[in-house]
Chains A and B, each alone.
Chain A
Amino acid sequence: MTAAPRALGPWSRRVVRALAEVVLPDGDGAPNVPLDEIVAFADSFVPYLPRLLRLLFPVGLMMLELGAFVLAPSLVPFSAMSLARRRRYVDGWVHARWRLRRDLIKAVKGLCLLGYYSDARVRARLGYAVEEHVADVSAERLRRHAANI
């Protein structure tokens, strides 16, 4: 099979990484998933977006990055802000009056969380042992119904 193409440039990856650090669960037993893995996950997902969204994705990240100068306001872009300031800044986007800002942060946040909660370590911590469940019930189905399926 041909590998899916990568979509994000180094600049976009830096912004996603900075956002992922804010969005990903931490503390209180939350498993640690390396940020680079989340960035790679997001990068692998973007090529599948509808073409218009795919093209607008880096534009949205640029708004998030450079918007910090005006909206934070900050002397440095989003990805260079301290974690505490990034948290406050992202919170501002989540509750922004302008719907486009809320939609954008929701999409990127969702992508990061999709990557995080799909991680095997996180699934195990949540007790979501789905592979074992599928194997168990599949075997049971064969045992019970082999003659009828």
Chain B
Amino acid sequence: MSARSGCAVMLQTFDQIAAAGRDVSIDADVVVVGSGAGGGAIAAELAEGGRSVVVVEEGGHYTSKDFRADAPAMIKKLYRNAGSAPILGRPNIIFSEGRCVGGSTVINGAMSWRTPEKILKRWQWEHGLRELSPEALDPFFTQVEERVSVGPQDPESIGEDARLMQRGADKLGYAWVPAMRSQKHCCGANNCAFGCPTDAKQSVLVTYVPRLLAAGGQLYSGCKVERVLTDGQRAVGIVGRFRHPESGARGPKLTVRAKVVVLACGAVQTPALLLRNGLTNSSDQVGRNFLCHPNSKVVGVYEQPIHAWKGTIQGNQIREFIDEGIMITTSMVPPALLAMSFPYFGARSWEVMRDYDKMLAAGCLVEDTGTGRVSLDLFGEAKMRYDINDRDFANLIRGVALTSEILFASGARRVLLPFDFLPELGSADEIQRLYAHPIPKDEVECLTVHAMGTCRMGVDKRSSVVDPHGESWDVPGLFVADASVFPGPIGVNPQITIMALATRTGRWLLDNERRYFAE
């Protein structure tokens, strides 16, 4: 029973299970590990299709009543490792992902774009995934968009930061598009990164999870899956351990025996779980092909207060350079997170930060052509390694230059850069300084929230981990339904692609009942 709503749904938290003090053992048709974009979508699809579904989520269960604008407190609750996991390489990249019921959809900007056609074509021609055509995927995109209410923002929710970016892009003749987000009358609280306090954001927490529970599915939160069970051939379930999502205190054991196991822990934790279990790696591709859309922040400082922290997190995206693999948008964050990203400290930090209300933070994202790797560290935990290649680095610098240009065109008096050696530009004329000398890669501040590609889908079992339906080549009955399966980067926010592919995998399972669910 849900402790929060009191209604007759099966959502059990660590505290409830720990209070009972007994190991839990259950049977189901399907067990889904992870409750984010992929896990939530496939779990609801299967439950509504009549299958008994158990979802196991490592993070805690929080709702809009818990979501506040207290960044540190929410980061600890909602983010894996409080958002501090480093991707080691040149440069180091900070990676943030959700770890809570609803996964990263609870803490992302809910940007909702279909996979660009050029990407699907690349997947078709370079990876042989002929079934992933725009036409074939259209019904899945349509369903997902309806489930999570994808649409443009109400005008009153657009903030001054988006208006300024639009003005800058218009002055320079750069194409931009209004943001499409999964939201219902978003009011521009701009608390997306710490959980939507109004439930306007249509995260998995308020869309697919209620659908799953209404269809009779079960969800256990605060439980870390340790083993994937096999009978020597097929996947037959999982074993997990309840752990307090914040303190890590150990609780009872959970065993779920199921006909199908779906891993949807994200492109870092899914390969880590597979590597820990020594599963489905005959191709030696698990954890390889790690993609992360490296991005950097550029901050414009204006003459007057612009209150960029009011209004929706992204009101538009600059798409002029999308074919070059560069996407630019606003991404204002609270002062604490902004101050951390600057090289300043002491008195100089305050000199800069006291203009916070005059600042506009924008980000440029690069569609990566290089790859990294997820492997295991000494403790068996996921370790990420990614060295940005020269081409992508040049693109990132170009992205920073273009973002600076747009900010100056919109009226910014100065621009703060993500470089230790060149932290500030005073005018658009100074942008050329970015190209004057080679920039050391490890002097650039980079971050990402997009991880992809580590259990990639393909038609050749020698070069991929799962088949075109997401099923492991090596372990029948074991599926992957998150961004791990992407054969390459997509250059835009991945939420809708993850949901559509997961829904497609769910539909495949329902359409092949006799193969997967026969007694």
Residues of chain A whose beta carbon lies under 8 Å from any beta carbon of chain B: 1-5, 22-30, 41, 44-45, 47-53, 87, 90, 94, 99, 103, 109-110, 113-118, 122-123, 125-128, 130-131, 133-134, 137-138, 140-141, 144-145, 148-149
Contacts and interface: CB of A to CB of B under 8 A. Distances in A.
A141 B185 contact: yes
26 contacts: A2-B247, A3-B247, A4-B246, A5-B247, A22-B346, A27-B350, A28-B350, A29-B350, A30-B350, A50-B81, A50-B85, A53-B86, A87-B346, A110-B340, A113-B345, A117-B336, A127-B357, A130-B69, A130-B191, A134-B69, A134-B197, A137-B188, A137-B198, A140-B156, A148-B185, A149-B199
A148 B84 CA distance: 38
Given A27-B347, A118-B336, A1 B185 contact: no
B350 A49 contact: no
Contact of B84 (A29, A44, A48, A141): A48
Interface of B: 15, 68-72, 76, 81-82, 84-86, 92, 156-157, 184-185, 187-191, 197-200, 244, 246-249, 305, 309-310, 334-340, 343, 345-347, 349-351, 353-354, 356-357, 377-379, 381, 383, 442
A4 B246 CA distance: 6
B87 to A, nearest CB: 11
Nearest to A142: B198
Contacts of A5: 247-248
A28 B352 CA distance: 12
B247 A50 contact: no
B63 to A, nearest CB: 15
9 nearest CB pairs, A to B: A25-B350, A48-B82, A141-B187, A117-B336, A137-B187, A30-B350, A2-B247, A110-B340, A130-B69
Contacts of B335: 117, 122-123, 126, 128
Nearest to A127: B357
B222 to A, nearest CB: 11
A30 B339 CA distance: 14
Contacts of B337: 114
Contacts of B356: 126-128
A29 B71 CA distance: 23
